[in-house]
Amino acid sequence: MIKVGVCGYGTIGQRLADGVALQKDMELIGVADVAPTLAIRALKEKGMPYNLFLSVEDYRSDFEKLNIPVSGTMEEMVQKCDIILDATNAGVGAKNKEIYSKYEKKAIFQGGEKNSVADVFFHGYANYEKGIGKQFLKLTSCNTTGLIRAVDCLDRDYGIDRVAITIVRRVADPGDYHRGLTNALQIDKAPSHQAVDLMTIMPHINATGILIHTPVTHGHIITVVATGKKKITKDMALKSFLNHDRIRVVKISDGFLGNSSFFKYARDLGNPRGDMYEIGLWEDSIVETGDDIMFAINIPQESVTIPETVDGIRAACEMQTNRLEGVAKTNEYLGIGKWK
CA–CA separation, 185 vs 178, rounded Å?
17
CA–CA separation, 199 vs 265, rounded Å?
33
Residues in the chain: 340
Residue 86, marked binder: no
Among 7, 81, 142, 153, the one annotated catalytic: 142
Instruction: Tell me the CA end-to-end span of the chain in Å, nearest whole number.
Output: 30
CA–CA separation, 223 vs 295, rounded Å?
6
Beta bridge partners of 248: 280
Catalytic site includes residue 81: no
CA–CA separation, 170 vs 152, rounded Å?
24
Beta bridge partners of 31: 6, 52
CA–CA separation, 172 vs 268, rounded Å?
23
Beta bridge partners of 222: 167, 297
Cβ atoms of 300 and 275 within 8 Å: the answer is: yes
H helix runs in 180-335, sequence order: 193-201, 234-242, 259-268, 306-316, 323-334
- Chain center to CA of 8: 15
Helices 142-158 and 193-201 cross at an angle (nearest 10°) of 50
**Which H helix or E strand runs over 207?**
strand 206-214
| DSSP secondary structure code for residue 64 in this structure | H
CA–CA separation, 1 vs 314, rounded Å?
11
Q: Within a 10 A sphere around the Cβ of 227, how many other Cβ atoms?
A: 18
Q: Annotated active-site positions, please?
A: 142
| Bind-site residues | 33
| Bind-site residues for NAD(+) | 33
